[in-house]
Amino acid sequence: MTSYDQLHEAAQASLAASTRVIVQVGHCSQAVGATQVAEALQAELSGHSSVDLVIAGCDGACFAAPQVIVTTSPNNIQRYSQVSLDDVPTLVATLTSGDTTGLPLFVKGGRGDLDSFFAAQTRVLLTRCGYIDPTSINEYIALGGYRGLNGALSQSPEEVIQTVLDAGLLGRGGAYFPAARKWQAARAANGSPRYLVVNAEEGEPGLFKDRHIMEGDPHLLLEGMLIAAYATGASETYIYINAEANLSAQRIETAIEQAQDAGLIGEDILGSGFDCQVTVRRGAGGYVCGEETTLLDTIQGNRREPRLRPPFPAESGLFQRPTVINNVETLSNVPMILSEPVPPELVEGHAEGDFPVLPPFVKGGQGGFSSLGLDSAKGTKLICLSGLVQRPGLAEVPMGSTLRHVIYDIGGGPPPGTDLGVVAIGGPSSGVLPPTELDTELRPGMLHPSGVVMGGGGIMVMAEGVPVIDVVRQLAAYNAAESCGKCTPCREGTPRMVQVLDRLASGHGSTTDLEELRYLAEIVGAASLCGLGQMSGGPINSALHFFGDELAGLIN
């Protein structure tokens, strides 16, 4: 048994001071050659002990990927964006010449772009993501990792629950239910063992935030998960990872092994008497798998169909035992509630030669979770921004930030020569907004009474001229394809929505079609068991509200 202080000391001692070259390899950047760049640098630099090559996750600046970040001292950090294999020889020549003062700067995306992308964000959750080695538990611990768990284990589970309730942590999967309320309910329920299930299915189109955390800072999730398990009294945890998120699964599995070796997973964790085992399970595709009761049934080996509630999972969940299901982003917020995100002294006044250093635009320890966001919804939210913006990527903003802030200040707005059109928000369960609604605040609950919600935090921006019927039809077709078929209204109603939309799009619509769409949206919404059906009318209702004239214009 090792104490936390011993772990921390060993972790700091293990970090060598040297020139650090970070290649950001994530699910997204792999698709544009990051792996090849990393392999080439690895081969070229393997003989140079003065250069420490780190394969990190991504920091969210997807527009700049693949990124290479070179740190020769805390004050000399160079970022290279959209690096290709052709750039590798130049980079290697400079790094190995010993004189790294005048590193070449081949920022193709434009340095200003990166600065504005980060400056408009509040990075708390993503502090480490993209800058530390996700396969090294030492780097996580050296930067204050597992301090939250250590602190939690010295309190009673009830105290931990109270702290997280007081902090106001709401679930980030889309429903925004108080996370610790679930822990409390499962703790109070009879039944043993209790389970904690991490919902890492992330199957909502437009989302890639949980993958970024698992790939870039996997121990953050594990720490949050262990704290939640301790508070719940869960001795077994499952991490249910999306079928396609192979890199996430790999890095999480490595992190689990390291945490086991360090005595942070398993029996008598940090000498507290708390035992916890972790199993990784993979999904097999399907939006509905992210619905919490469906997820439980797929672990049990059943079809992917939601359960009737009550009983709620807190009373009768996995294998009919008390179960808590939390999203990756939710759990990743937990450690900073129990301790500050990154000890400020490691970020601000770090001494020359201290490694790993975080780039200067990353601010740690700025007041933690509760000082950010809204009174009704504390903390930050990860936003997945894509579509027609100059800087698509993963951003972190305080709850309550506006759509305009995200699309323009962070995303840079549409490229020159194009204009903003339909904005789809929250995936297929939410809605569409026109450019006149950019002052909408991103927060839990209805963003607009027609059914627009933030969901998991996906924002997809379309160009002006993309017909709203195309956007809505695509979302409706997705819902129809993903309907599991358990509830008749959803199974029959969602394809009917697509039929009517097709009829409108082809110019054969009749005057009753808009009314029929409204009617279908209402029935399917009212009579379906799970969120997929209940929310499937969102795109239609919001389109009817905001784009009613455009839709009516399709009828001859």
Partner 1 sequence: MNRSDLRPILREKFPPERTYLLPALHYLQEEFGHLPDWALQTVAWHLRVPASEVYGAATSYSELRIDAPGRHVVRVCNGLSCWHNGGRSILERLSDEFGVQPGETDPDSRVTLEETPCGFLCPMAPVVEVDGRWRGRVAAADIPSLVKELT
> What does the binding site for partner 1 look like in residue numbers (CB under 8 A)?
27-28, 30-32, 62-63, 65, 202-208, 211, 242-245, 281-287, 289, 298-305, 319, 384-388, 392-394, 424, 458, 460-463, 466, 470-471, 474-475, 478, 481-482, 484
- 333: nearest Cα among 371, 365, 368: 368
Cβ proximity to partner 1, 40 vs 394, nearer residue = 394
**β-strand 393-398 against 195-200: which pairing, if any?**
unpaired
CB of residue 206 to partner 1, shortest distance in Å: 6
Cβ distance 333 to 223 under 8 Å? no
CB atoms within 10 A of CB 360: 11
CB of residue 373 to partner 1, shortest distance in Å: 24
| Cα–Cα distance measured from residue 403 to residue 417, given in angstroms and rounded to the nearest whole number | 21
Cβ proximity to partner 1, 39 vs 244, nearer residue = 244
CB of residue 436 to partner 1, shortest distance in Å: 20
Cβ proximity to partner 1, 70 vs 252, nearer residue = 252
Cβ distance 18 to 67 under 8 Å? no
Which helix H or strand E contains 494, and what residues bound it?
Answer: helix 488-505
Phi, psi of 102 (to 5 degrees): -110, 60
Cβ proximity to partner 1, 46 vs 300, nearer residue = 300
CB of residue 104 to partner 1, shortest distance in Å: 24
Cβ proximity to partner 1, 233 vs 393, nearer residue = 393
Angle formed at CA 505 by CA 502 and CA 506, multiple of 5 degrees:
85
Cβ proximity to partner 1, 208 vs 230, nearer residue = 208
Q: Which two tokens stand for residue 398?
A: 């305080």
CB of residue 249 to partner 1, shortest distance in Å: 11
Residue 325, classified by CB atoms within 10 Å of its CB into exposed (0-12), middle (13-18) or buried (19+), is buried
Cβ proximity to partner 1, 128 vs 211, nearer residue = 211
| Cα–Cα distance measured from residue 197 to residue 182, given in angstroms and rounded to the nearest whole number | 12
Cβ proximity to partner 1, 94 vs 474, nearer residue = 474
Angle formed at CA 495 by CA 492 and CA 496, multiple of 5 degrees:
80
Cβ proximity to partner 1, 305 vs 516, nearer residue = 305
Residue 515, classified by CB atoms within 10 Å of its CB into exposed (0-12), middle (13-18) or buried (19+), is exposed
CB of residue 33 to partner 1, shortest distance in Å: 9
CB of residue 142 to partner 1, shortest distance in Å: 30
CB of residue 27 to partner 1, shortest distance in Å: 6
| Cα–Cα distance measured from residue 140 to residue 134, given in angstroms and rounded to the nearest whole number | 8
- 491: nearest Cα among 500, 481, 499: 481
CB of residue 464 to partner 1, shortest distance in Å: 11
